[in-house]
Amino acid sequence: MSSTFQPQEQTFVLVPSSDQPLNPAIVNEEFCRYSGVTPMDWELAREPIYTPQLVQLSYQNGVTITAQPNRILFTEVIANKAASDYRAAQLARQFVQALPNLKIEAFGFNPLGHAQIDDTEEATRNYLTQTLLAPGVWQNVGNTPMRSRLSLTYTLEQGQLNLTISEANLRGENDSFTPVIVFSGNFSYSVEGESAEACRASMLQQLERSSADLDFFIGLINEKFLATVTAAPALLPVFA
């Protein structure tokens, strides 16, 4: 059986117009609750972070809202969740609708997950250095095995997909660690329009693609990168 990509997280990134930066202070718990961005019954997982340059609200259901002057992030832990239970896309939609004069100039969707190639660090590293890269003497330099990180760019009909492939460790029981390969994606969409209303409509149209693009991303990893890799046992998804 082939190793399988395990989605762990998705993030929606909104970039305000550079000439109208966002004041993070407006993205507080009360605003999100009473404007309808978040449901009234959502509970915080920890105390909010409020600074002049950053506001962060983390909820018990695995959703985090992070606001900075140049971007707003809606991040959601999706490991072991059904797609019907995903909430981050709806939050991004509610947010731009709650701020009709906020002009969005760029929008991104970032899926993240991992695959366990083997239970040894050497075999996992070899997937990068021997399978994805061509072996060569250039790898045999230094006193320790070379570590690698691959960055790939795909031009798609709906926009650009940037894919980063790297090594990481998962923390298991008794503080043990098991190596995995991390696949981090960034779908970069164009937002068209001159007015805030036109940009919002363009961004919302791209947002509707996110579910299909997540499916595309999962298929890309499983079918093009992992189809011939022997699966190892699943582990708890905690990155070191």
The answer to whether position 238 is within a domain reads no
The answer to whether position 34 is within a domain reads yes
Confidence band, pLDDT 50/70/90 cuts, at residue 236? very low
How many CB atoms are closer than 10 A to CB 143? 4
Query: Rounded to the nearest 5 degrees, what angle is found at the Cα of 163, between the Cα atoms of 1 and 165?
Result: 60
The answer to whether position 230 is within a domain reads no
The answer to whether position 196 is within a domain reads yes
* Predicted local confidence at residue 238, as pLDDT: 46
- pLDDT tens sequence across 122-159: 888 889 888 888 888 877 787 777 778 999 999 999 88
The answer to whether position 48 is within a domain reads yes
* Predicted local confidence at residue 171, as pLDDT: 82
Instruction: Count H helices and E strands in the chain, helices first.
Output: 5, 9
- Residues counted in the chain: 240
Domain that holds residue 200: 6-137+144-225
Number of domain units in the chain: 1
The answer to whether position 100 is within a domain reads yes
